[in-house]
Structure 1
């Protein structure tokens, strides 16, 4: 569960966020679109894609990436961008049909034989030391996870989102594309609760994201994932509030020098979200007027 301090910080920021964004849907849409390439690149990088952010931006602009790149990675970028863009205007309830539709888009031209369907009998998957659920039961397990999510989300949305994501990844319902679809679903769930999207970062996946999934698989506790999503949500709220209310945002390093704060201290505060810093193109930024 989200601890009391984190929950209070999120609730306080949400009050500000909702007050300043009530009549600014286009601003929120444009912020989300500026994050599109970074969101796609980071999610694919978690799955070991070699595309840089620059490569991804070129691909989404209809150009070729720099150097020689695997064609599959080009399709992965284009397809995930389509799913993510569709998510921005999605009003459909989160049900199996929508999950399968997005999976079909994600794997189009990559694994057409497996796109848009759950694993079938005999299709076992393993990720390191974790074996995905028996394919015979995958469909029912996903339905059960959705039912529990809907029940839990009415009282504790972030906890429910974290648990659903962990359960989805433990089930590993697809032959391919489980992680990327799972992270899309996080943002679908956040959006359905009036919350901004988050970007799960590839750089620290060995220290936070993967351990949270592994902990859930062996203990049934999603607390680690809940805390990670809480910090990412704080960052997303800080970013949107800053962009909508501040005259200028600056690199965190510049703010630290001007404020007499050591760079590593400022970065650690940013990671813990005890200052309103946020990442743009994987670089920590902050409102210039923050004191």
Structure 2
């Protein structure tokens, strides 16, 4: 790990310690932060995948209002993502371990009403990822690949939560176990890991899409996770600083 990445991770840990010291947070403050991050996470994660709803349009869709000129799929993607976040939050609150069953459930929520036949089901065909330098494994190997992913996760306890979350996300994306919805599901898994350890969710922004894809591609090709870890750490740091600012603790 290079010195600048270590410095960044140390800064993230210091901000996390400040947040931990302020817990328990005031309930209304916590509720407003949760609402803010649910909206921004949903908007940016869907926008990375090509959803054209704006941030404000996403907000009104989540409030139950239909936006004219937008497809039913785009509406479903917003509501589904919000529901998947709630599922992840509940899983974290119950201290549930990460399992293949849980990954399938997250994906089922992501594709609910969009492609119910594929929701929660590993792909039954081979695919390529547009713009990526690696080819996902043959669909016949997916059960073994996913079992290996969960096994790696169980063995990676010595890693810091930020590093482990970034690598979990990358390894999942490389397997690409579903026909559609892998990116959204992978970012939900990323934050499942972070939230388990009391971090706020990392929101990978639409405007960082190219850097994000480049970092993922580098990690998938070379096994070097520094780039994606840095991007995740920067996203976590932004979220932590938002929390600290609202709490009057940002210096």
- Using structure 2 for the length normalisation, give the TM-score: 0.91
1:154 deviates by 3.2
Residue 33 of structure 2: SS of its match in structure 1? helix
Pick from 148, 152, 163 the counterpart of residue 156 of structure 2: 152
Q: Call closer, same or farther: CA 1:30–1:68 in 2, change over 3 Å.
A: same
Report the more deviating stretch, 20-29 or 155-164. 20-29
**Displacement, 1:17?**
0.9
Residue in 1 that maps onto 2:34: 32
**What is residue 182 of structure 2 aligned with on the other side?**
178
1:103 aligns with 2:107: yes
Query: More deviation in 188-197 or 128-137?
Result: 128-137
Q: Which protein, 1 or 2, shows the higher relative CO under an 8 Å CA cutoff with sep ≥ 6?
A: 2
Q: How many residues align?
A: 244
Q: Is the 8 A contact 2:37 2:201 kept in 1?
A: no
In the alignment, the residues of structure 2 paired with residue 26 and residue 98 of structure 1 have an alpha-carbon distance, to the nearest angstrom, of 30
Would you say the 8 A contact 1:125–1:175 is kept in 2?
A: yes
Equivalent residue number for residue 260 of structure 1 = none
Per the TM alignment, residue 23 of structure 1 is displaced from its structure 2 partner at its CA by 4.9
Deviations 1:23-44 (A, max 9, x none): 5466334312222122111101
CA distance in 2, matches of 1:224, 1:244: 30
Give the CA deviation at 1:63: 0.6
Give the structure 2 partner of residue 218 of structure 1.
Answer: 221
Counterparts in 2 of 1:4 and 1:37: CA distance versus 1, 3 Å: closer
Report how far residue 14 of structure 1 moved. Answer: 1.7
Q: Which position in structure 2 is the counterpart of 1:239?
A: 242
Aligned residue for 1:4? 6
Ranges in structure 2 where 5+ consecutive residues have no aligned partner: none
**Deviation sequence 1:256-281 (CA, Å, 0-9, x none):** xxxxxxxxxxxxxxxxxxxx6xxxxx
Matches within 5 A, 1:198-277: 198-206=202-210, 208-245=211-248
Q: Secondary structure at the match of 1:153?
A: coil
Distance 1:147 1:157 in 2: 17
- Considering fraction of residues, name the structure with more helix: 2
TM-score in terms of structure 1 length: 0.79
- Distance in 2 of aligned mates of 1:221 and 1:70: 39
**Structure with greater strand share of residues:** 1
Q: Which runs of 5+ in 1 are unaligned?
A: 247-275, 277-289
Which residue, 152, 161, 165 being the options, matches 1:161? 165
Q: Distance in 1 between matches of 2:58 and 2:131?
A: 31
2:90 matches 1:89: yes
User: Which residue does 1:13 correspond to in 2?
Assistant: 15
Deviation, structure 1 residue 205: 0.8
Q: Note the aligned Cα RMSD (angstroms).
A: 1.7
Is structure 2 residue 147 aligned with structure 1 residue 143?
Answer: yes
Whichever of the two has the greater Rg, that structure is: 1
Contact 2:107/2:181, CA 8 A, preserved across alignment: yes
CA contact (8 A) 2:80 2:109 kept: yes
